[in-house]
Structure 1
């Protein structure tokens, strides 16, 4: 094993890896940066393209130990990059992606072209992207997307950068010799001192308001009067006990609650540590919970807002929910709105069942789920969908289908 110290997405890292480990496996397996995709693993398809010292390079055929001291930028590191932001919008507008597997590497290469080319020349763009293969689109939309970004930027008098901002020539890291013992020792020392995980969300002094990227509407009913349900919602410990995977990490305060929720989806396990503030309006039996949390292992951050209103009904109480959230980081790749919507419905069903047990006087252990198992929820969802699908073709009572 070799200790490798380099900079990944502007963050100094020091990680032990086998000498044969390539950069693609290094960022995916050691740093959970799975936006870099592996295709041919021979340096042909371009799906694994990343920036090494600012230059597009095939990460599947580049050894991580050869990048000692280099700056590596994956597609995740370009989230706030203005050129990549424009390219993403253009790719969507021009229908420049279908399955999306080649898209991370395609965006990295396209960004380099936008920086370098003085004008939107179709032939030069096709030559520049010839090392990035796509089996879906036919390239027409991709070329149009890159052309449109170049045209718009040149119209805004943004001049091309000579050599795309390249500062050195030669192999990756050649300007930062790994054989210089003094340099390497200093690099490792800096990485060790700088490699700290992001500040935990629970340490944030104030819970900020935000505009959710996705908003879901849900509702459920319980056979208990609104006053009893509203009083239970004031007991944060009781609410957490009813929510699968949730737990409190500190005694709740009127203005702040700190806790965690553990989620398992197949091999992916995430524990979001966070804090929230609770607002209540007894006049109309409504409330709002605004929170922020992060999973340190995947470096994923989420902000969430739950608005609820209790509505009296003949059988008890209907709880109307508005759930808004924003998810960034690695887990955003599995946080598709459609999947989240279906999982939320299953989660709320479990919460409602646990809440009903608690309101009926059941013990706390009877109303507690130890962990939110997303795979179980997904399988349950699939069974329900298959049942509905088969039902569409089942004969009715009069013999018709």
Structure 2
């Protein structure tokens, strides 16, 4: 799995996890639910999947998502306020330039590029420039007329200068790539559009990653994050708890059902979370990066994961603050969780039930944390960390427990007991 940062339709998609082989079109459709990008031939021939990468038209069905790390992606959903696109949509409707509409999103993206780059284009120029977009319905006459009419309207309005969005050589979106550092086992990228890159290294001594700051609960990939607040107290000094939280492997495996896919570093961890909901067993695999603030004893975790057996995926961020209690002999852990769940398991993300389940998960995490700290922080004889996973998370049992408690509370209130 690789972690990437994108700007999609003007919104930050931070720390998204994808497989190296995932095409950009599949990532947009399956993970971000941007289904306006259509898949036709899936060989880069028909043009139905055309969208804009850094303002330049590109075939998303043959573009790897990891190759777009740091790029700005604009799909048909993100062009509602584009002046040229509004004119093209009106012209396509007026000139009957679409029938079934399947090719239309890619056709419009390519037509927009023609209008901007070729203000003096002839009919032959337009036909040649649009030859990479295939349509099996219209015969192309209405499409050509629509593009011609928009060019004519802009010429009458005094817009005659060509605009070329391409500013760098090489494949579209490649302007953000940098060579991988020695010993770095992950795809490394930088970006001029996202505040700072997320870098992963195999050695624990590698520089800490800098993750773009983003408030929990802010919109991400078009879907707002559900925000939950939890807290618990443990009878251990804050510095001891802080040091334990610095060992990502131990912290991760305190969560019920969590295990590790690879050895963690000081700032990066790749967890696997097994969840059972009745007969459904989901196994989420993902990655997360951590930024810690030692001065304030706080940290923020940015991560995402995907179920290996379905289209379900989740992304979010967790902020924790450690506060001294009882004169420094105890610590209160305050946690703010922002998450978004998509796919078939999203039906279990109703906030009222999730809040109760989160409370039970927090209690289980706190109990495991107390046990690890009581054992000296889970360090074995040679000083290495011990990452034994906690018990499997049975979400079905949690849901049943929540519903049972609610039914009991309802009848108690009904009969005044």
TM-score, normalisation: structure 2: 0.47
- TM-score, length of structure 1 as denominator length: 0.49
Q: Quick check: which one's helix share is greater?
A: 1
